[in-house]
A and B are shown apart, each in its own frame.
Chain A
Amino acid sequence: MNKTIKLDYLARVEGEGGLTVRLKGDEVVDARLNIFEPPRFFEAFLRGRRFSEAPDITARICGICPIAYMMSSIQAMETGFGYHVDGMLRELRRLIYFGEWIESHALHIYMLHAPDFLGYQDVIKLAGDFPEIVERGLKLKKLGNDIMTLIGGREIHPINIRVGGFYRVPTKNELNSLSDRIKWAREAALETVRWVATMEFPDFEQDYEFVALRHPEEYAVIEGDLASNKGLSFPISAFEEYIREDHVKHSTSLQASVRGRGAYCVGPMARININFEKLSALAREAASEVKFGPGCLNPFKSIIARAIEVVHACDESLRIIEGYQMPEMPSIDLTPRTATCYGCTEAPRGICWHRYRVDEDGTILDARIVPPTSQNQRAIEDDLLHFVRKNMALPEDRLAWLCEQVVRNYDPCISCSCHYLKLKFERDLDGDI
Chain B
Amino acid sequence: MATKKRPKLAVWKFASCDGCQLSLLDCEDELLAVAREIEVAYFPEGFREVIKGPYDISLVEGSITTAHDAERIHKVRRMSKTVIAIGACATSGGIQALRNFKDVKEFARYVYPRPEYISTLSKSTPLSDHINVDYELRGCPISKVQLIETVSAFLNSRKPNVPSHSVCMECKRKGNICVMVAKGIPCLGPVTHAGCDALCPTYNRGCYACFGPKESPNTGSLSRWLGERSGMKDKDIMRSFRGINAYAEPFRKESEAHE
Residues of A within 8 A of B (CB): 9-16, 37-45, 47, 49-50, 53, 56-57, 60-64, 66, 107, 111-112, 115, 121-124, 127, 131, 134-135, 138-139, 141-142, 145, 153-157, 159-160, 167-168, 247, 330, 415, 419-422, 425, 427, 430, 433
Do B47 and A41 have beta carbons less than 8 Å apart? no
Residues of chain A within 8 A (CB-CB) of B106 are: 44
Q: How far is the CB of A114 from chain B (nearest CB, A)?
A: 12
Partner of B99 from the list A37, A45, A111, A155 (CB cut-off 8 Å) is: A45
Q: A38-B65, A38-B66, A39-B118 are in contact. Are A247 and B111 (CB under 8 A)?
A: no
Do A11 and B44 have beta carbons less than 8 Å apart? yes
Residues of chain B within 8 A (CB-CB) of A63 are: 16-20, 22, 141
Partner of A41 from the list B13, B76, B96 (CB cut-off 8 Å) is: B96
Q: How far is the CB of A113 from chain B (nearest CB, A)?
A: 12
Interface size on B, residues (CB 8 A): 63
Do B13 and A44 have beta carbons less than 8 Å apart? no
| Complex Cα gap A135–B48 (Å) | 20
Do A61 and B104 have beta carbons less than 8 Å apart? no
Q: A107-B25, A142-B29, A157-B210 are in contact. Are A44 and B99 (CB under 8 A)?
A: yes
Do A167 and B48 have beta carbons less than 8 Å apart? no
| Complex Cα gap A52–B107 (Å) | 22
| Besides A63-B17, A138-B32, A145-B26, 11 new A-B residue pairs in contact (Cβ under 8 A), listed by A number | A12-B46, A15-B18, A38-B65, A39-B108, A61-B17, A63-B20, A154-B141, A156-B19, A160-B203, A167-B204, A425-B117
Residues of chain B within 8 A (CB-CB) of A53 are: 239
Residues of chain A within 8 A (CB-CB) of B205 are: 159-160, 167-168
Do B107 and A45 have beta carbons less than 8 Å apart? yes
Residues of B within 8 A of A (CB): 13-20, 22-23, 25-26, 28-29, 31-32, 35, 40, 44-49, 65-66, 68-69, 72, 75-76, 94-96, 98-99, 102, 104, 106-108, 110-113, 117-120, 124, 140-141, 196, 199-200, 202-205, 208, 210, 239, 244
Residues of chain A within 8 A (CB-CB) of B28 are: 138-139, 141-142, 145
For A49, the closest partner residue in chain B by CB is B239
| Complex Cα gap A101–B144 (Å) | 21
Q: How far is the CB of B74 from chain A (nearest CB, A)?
A: 10
Do B23 and A156 have beta carbons less than 8 Å apart? yes
Q: A38-B66, A153-B200, A425-B118 are in contact. Are A11 and B16 (CB under 8 A)?
A: no
| Complex Cα gap A159–B189 (Å) | 14
Q: How far is the CB of A213 from chain B (nearest CB, A)?
A: 24
Residues of chain A within 8 A (CB-CB) of B22 are: 14, 63-64, 156
Residues of chain A within 8 A (CB-CB) of B68 are: 427, 430
Residues of chain A within 8 A (CB-CB) of B140 are: 60, 157
Q: A56-B208, A141-B28 are in contact. Are A44 and B107 (CB under 8 A)?
A: yes
Q: A39-B118, A60-B244, A64-B18 are in contact. Are A247 and B65 (CB under 8 A)?
A: no
For A10, the closest partner residue in chain B by CB is B44
Residues of chain A within 8 A (CB-CB) of B75 are: 433
Do A121 and B17 have beta carbons less than 8 Å apart? no
